[in-house]
Structure 1
Amino acid sequence: MAQTSESSPSLTSSLSRRTFLGRTAAALGLTALGSPLRAQGKAVATFGLGYTLYGMKSLTLDDALKTCAEIGYDGVELCLLDGYPTTPAQFGAAERTKLRESLASLKLRVSGLMENFSAIADDTQQAKILERIKAAGQLAHDLAPDSLPPLETVLGGKPAEWDQVKDRMVENLRAWAKTAEEAKIILAIKAHVMNAVQTPERLLWLWHAVNHPSLQLAYDYSHFQVQNLTLDETLAAILPHTSFIHVKDASGTPEKVKFQLPGEGTIDYGAYFKKLQSFGYRGDVVVEVSAMLFKQPEYDPKEAARKSYAGLMAGLEKAGLTRKR
């Protein structure tokens, strides 16, 4: 993907957060974001709706897939973390064939693959991460060879550690990107409010420093929302380099964040979807249910999926968009 004019790491570090994001927004012509919508009738969304199975660990894989299909989602993100049914090391050829057939019969696609890596890993941990990237690549090719899903991950660490760990992160990410290239998949890295990479500037600094076509970005506004950054400025900075999107709501502060289901907070999904449509984003918008929600004793994975879908559909209606099913 093309880089913006703010491509130099040294330049971004010298700019304030507001100046950097503001210049990026201006460069991308944010004021024209609503233009592709038709004046009459509804435009077909360039993106679909997906649901991550990260929040459905208590269900069987078959039940989770059927639930998502019946609700109306277009795709699912498979969770590759240990303890989940699609962990590659324990998900053999027969299971992969069955899953591919199930996805086809339910008319679901694989929106993405979820991992949880640390870019400050030591050499022993790094070797394991590279093997997991290879395994994820093989799974992607086994399940969706004609439309390979991206592998997305956060990056670990703590916000205060950034200056101490950023060079190590670059070194590790270069190896991740090279391994992803060899596996013929895209690796999408995500900022997290409680991680070392918590802001758009830090995420873009890493991306520019690594400078590899197999490394792209994942966007999740909830992590920026609690840092009082706007949807406009963060989308404008990150979306041109984005291959994967998570959605959820959030409230609180960076020190005490509370994640919520889409539609339970203050994100205007009508405005959000208009902006995605204008940028021409073509991946899925994937609901992520935070562990702080699904670990609650009263959590119902099916009800969470239904409520999230209703929130997103209300946003599409407000945006004047429909979906091609």
Structure 2
Amino acid sequence: MPVDPPPRALAGIGDEAATSVAGQIAAIQRLGWRHVELRSVDGTALADLTDAAFARVRTALRDAGLDVVCAASRIGNWARPVTAPFADDLHELDVLADRCGALGTRYVRIMSYPDGGLAPDDWRDRVLDRTARLAERAARRGVVLLHENCAGWAGADADRMRQLLDAADGLGLLFDTGNGVDHGYDAAELLPPLLPHVAHVHVKDAVGGPGQARYVLPGDGSARVADCLRLLLDSGYTGALSLEPHLATRPHDGVRAEDAEPFVRAGRRLEALLHELAGSVPA
């Protein structure tokens, strides 16, 4: 039966550290963490793994004692506009719902679709319709869709995210601390009205600007990671903090991790930030 992670579990998107499941597990274990988020293994998206390959992943995670906190889908992401076949989204959701059940997690990350060349009103209407239908299907399958503040119609706008939540019953939010640098907004300013709906968090940091982000260790960039974490913790957030540093893996550029060391350094920095934040709480 899918379960929620323990309060403020530290996790990491495994393919940010290594392509193989063995490498992903090793990186998480080096940090002493017990939670992982799955996106791809050996360069293949979680939903596209054969049944045999998925069974090997599940067994490896179980033998390592790692729990899965979320499955990152491609639904509505930067490569799948709202004009793409909806059947692709439905199929991926169905596969991931089964695999989430086997992995013991209930969260599936989605985005809200590039426009595919549609006029603004048509784009909005299709996004709201698709997301509502997907959320309903997910609920029937026992999983929860989480919309990330990244690519798509509602990726950078809190009002649009609230419209999406209103249209799609059961939808939650996944907040990424670092996406604002690349997408042109201040994450710490976007976050406050969304806090009651945030169910999962990605942690990354960056410098630069829209379309030219360069990723750095958490706390070293301009994404205001510490401010975002403080807002979340002060609000009573109890979900996982999932590391997605983009130091060795950048999916948009086809760059995949070959060295887990940057991921591990980013994990240590996240731990240090949390320690500093805990020390700043008045007695």
Q: TM-score range by the shorter chain?
A: 0.7 to 0.9
Unaligned runs of 5+ in 1: 1-44
Counterpart-to-counterpart distance in 2, 1:275 and 1:94: 40
2:113 counterpart of 1:152: no
Larger Rg: 1
| Residue in 1 that maps onto 2:19 | 59
Alpha-carbon shift at residue 110 of structure 1 (Å):
0.5
Counterpart-to-counterpart distance in 2, 1:273 and 1:258: 21
Pair 1:222–1:159, CA change in 2 (3 A): farther
**1:189 aligned residue (140, 147, 151):** 147
2:75 counterpart of 1:117: yes
Identical residues among aligned pairs (%): 20
TM-score (normalised: structure 1)? 0.71
What value does the CA root-mean-square deviation take over the aligned residues?
Answer: 3.1
Letter in 2 for 1:135: V
Letter in 1 for 2:176: D
More helix, by proportion: 1
| Residue in 2 that maps onto 1:235 | 191
| Residue in 2 that maps onto 1:70 | 30
| Residue in 1 that maps onto 2:174 | 218
Counterpart-to-counterpart distance in 2, 1:182 and 1:59: 32
Q: CA contact under 8 A between 2:71 and 2:108: conserved in structure 1?
A: yes
Q: CA contact under 8 A between 1:222 and 1:250: conserved in structure 2?
A: yes
Alpha-carbon shift at residue 108 of structure 1 (Å):
2.0
Counterpart-to-counterpart distance in 1, 2:143 and 2:29: 25
Letter in 2 for 1:63: G
What secondary structure, in the 3-state scheme, does the structure 1 residue paired with 2:146 have? strand
Counterpart-to-counterpart distance in 2, 1:174 and 1:298: 33
What secondary structure, in the 3-state scheme, does the structure 1 residue paired with 2:237 have? coil
Pair 1:179–1:301, CA change in 2 (3 A): farther
| Residue in 1 that maps onto 2:91 | 131
| Residue in 2 that maps onto 1:41 | none
| Residue in 2 that maps onto 1:305 | 263
Counterpart-to-counterpart distance in 1, 2:181 and 2:195: 16
Letter in 2 for 1:90: L
Alpha-carbon shift at residue 250 of structure 1 (Å):
2.2
Q: CA contact under 8 A between 1:54 and 1:289: conserved in structure 2?
A: no
Cα deviation digits, residues 53-72 of structure 1 (max 9, x gap): 2424x532122112211222
Q: CA contact under 8 A between 2:11 and 2:243: conserved in structure 1?
A: yes
Cα deviation digits, residues 267-310 of structure 1 (max 9, x gap): 45544433322222222111124454895889654012111112
| Residue in 1 that maps onto 2:3 | none
Cα deviation digits, residues 104-146 of structure 1 (max 9, x gap): 4433210210112228534x710121111011010011111xx
Number of aligned residues: 266
Larger RCO (CA within 8 A; separation ≥ 6): 1
| Residue in 2 that maps onto 1:49 | 10
